[in-house]
Amino acid sequence: MNCSVAARCGGCQLTRMTYRQQLTHKQALVEKLLAPYCPVEPILGMTNPFHYRNKVHAALGVDKRGLPLSGVYAAGTHRIVPVKRCLIEDERASRIIQTIMELLPAFKLRVYNEYTGRGFLRHVLIRTGWHTGEILVVLVASSLEFPGKRAFVAELRQRHPEITSLVLNQNDRHTSMVLGRREPVLFGPGYLEDMLCGKRFRISPQSFYQVNAQQAEILYQTAIELAGFTGEETVLDAYCGTGTIGLCASDHIRRLIGVELNPDAVRDARENAQRNGVANAEFICEDAGRFMTRLAKQKQAPDVVIMDPPRAGSDMPFLRSLLALASKRVVYVSCNPETLARDVAVLCAGGYRAEKAVPVDMFPWTEHVETVVLISKGEIDSKKVRVEFSLEDMDMSGFQKGATYEQIKAYVLKHTGLKVSSLYISQVKRKCGLDVGQNYNLSKKEDAKVPQCPPEKEAAIMEALKHFQMLE
Ligand code: SAH
């Protein structure tokens, strides 16, 4: 791929390969990890693997002459690599970002400076609808005071009548999180709508939505086919986001229950059920592991469990409860084959059998790959295994609650450019009431003074802990 910033941007790792080579590479990766459990079908790739990203995030900064520039953070830093034209992002979004950059000086709007805390606009986030063509623009600013707002909005709309909604998001924190909580709507409905598998979905600025909608349809169809619904099933859609997979399946099942942690996404999911006239669905806002534990206690087994956890994979409370409930079929959708293989190992050791895996290329030019695995329960096997199997015998080292110190350090470095020590991480964890494990606070020398974590690093570590869901 002919991208001039590939090396400095770091977003795409496979630019030196042809698209066919990438597919072979991803196929081999999934096969290597899943070979012990099941056969892997050929990866489902794209015909045109460009400009597929429907979520575009531009970080803003200034160049040496003080002129505003937009782009991406160079890997592991907060230095901006200017990007005018990205080969994987929606081109309509790139053009809108360029216009916003041009308008800033004319409207005397300044780009936010992370070091001084002064200036207005921090990021621009754009989400586009694949089937609807709708475009939601989110201006992330340090304040809700937007001088010249009306004129700016009018000018932007005039130049880009394709924008269907504009939202101002206030992020006044000194952290690497892109979006803050307050987000007044400047025009339009304040959310995006898109179609998937013939259903219409509403997606709020903060809700998860697959970044490649074209391939998401293929992913969902694959998951639905593998589930082999008869129309009689009660289905749990765990980690359901805005309810997309379950609602796409709702015509083929008796009852749908979705569980999701993000309240915005749950609100969207309920709204999505209503607007598609789906009457057999309910959505619950809760940690998926906790919800499954409750189901297991009440012995209420769904017939089919669809699970689509984030990169960290599922957790032991969830998997243990799934084993106890012994649902007939599990369709595991995963964006990280390593945690997928780890979780499949647990389910197979507990009496399930992985039938087959289908990789789907949702992220061409990057090293990421999505995989759907059908896991089912053989009746006779399950009784036999239940006697033999004990969770206590298994190696659970991959499931330590949350992330390792190394993962936290890497996350903080990538998102803030700050280096933090294990000592600082342990101080912040202890402050938050988390288990620290080793006692990092004890200095080797008795009288040595222990340095204390500065506030900026503390905030960065807290963000990482939240990212890894170690904090509420
Ligand atoms: N199935 C959806 C979303 C998948 S992304 C889709 O295809 O669009 C994973 C989702 O899991 C996100 O919406 C995230 O908010 C949610 N999530 C993360 N941790 C969770 C947890 N512990 N319990 C429930 N949901 C969780």
Indicate which residue's Cα is closest to atom 20 of ligand 1.
261
3-state secondary structure 118-163: ECCEEEEEEEECCCCCCEEEEEEECCCCCCCHHHHHHHHHHHCCCC
How much distance in Å is there from the Cα of 243 to the middle of ligand 1?
A: 10
How much distance in Å is there from the Cα of 207 to the middle of ligand 1?
A: 9
- Our answer on whether the CB atom of 268 is closer than 6 Å to any ligand 1 atom is no
Residue 260 near residue 282, CB atoms below 8 Å: no
Smallest CA-to-CA distance from 106 within 61, 165, 154 is with: 154
How much distance in Å is there from the Cα of 125 to the middle of ligand 1?
A: 20
Residue 302 in tokens = 């769904």
| Tens-level pLDDT at each residue, the chain (472 residues) | 789 888 888 899 999 999 999 999 999 999 999 999 999 999 999 999 999 999 999 999 988 887 889 999 887 777 889 988 899 999 999 999 999 999 999 999 999 987 788 899 999 999 999 999 999 999 999 999 999 999 999 999 999 999 999 999 998 776 667 788 889 999 999 999 999 999 999 998 888 899 999 999 999 999 999 999 999 999 999 999 999 999 999 999 999 999 999 998 999 999 999 999 999 999 999 999 999 999 999 999 999 999 999 999 999 999 999 999 999 999 999 999 999 999 999 999 999 999 999 999 999 999 999 999 999 996 544 444 443 344 444 555 555 456 777 778 877 887 777 888 888 888 888 777 677 654 444 434 434 456 788 877 888 888 888 777 777 6
Report the atom number in ligand 1 closest to the C-alpha of 287: 23
Indicate which residue's Cα is closest to atom 22 of ligand 1.
287
How much distance in Å is there from the Cα of 122 to the middle of ligand 1?
A: 27
- Our answer on whether the CB atom of 269 is closer than 6 Å to any ligand 1 atom is no
Q: Which residues, in sequence order, are CB contacts of 408 under 8 Å at separation 6+?
A: 420, 425, 461, 464, 465, 468
pTM here is 0.80
What the chain holds in terms of domains, given with CATH numbers, is 15-47+212-399 (3.40.50.150), 55-192 (2.40.50.1070), 405-467 (no CATH)
Report the atom number in ligand 1 closest to the C-alpha of 335: 5
How much distance in Å is there from the Cα of 262 to the middle of ligand 1?
A: 8
Q: Which active-site residues does the annotation give?
A: 335
Task: Tell me which of 210, 260, 332 to substitute to probe ligand 1's pocket, judged by most ligand atoms within 8 Å of the beta carbon.
Answer: 260
- Our answer on whether the CB atom of 265 is closer than 6 Å to any ligand 1 atom is yes
- Our answer on whether the CB atom of 260 is closer than 6 Å to any ligand 1 atom is yes
Instruction: Measure the CA–CA gap between 1 and 17, rounded to whole angstroms.
Output: 8
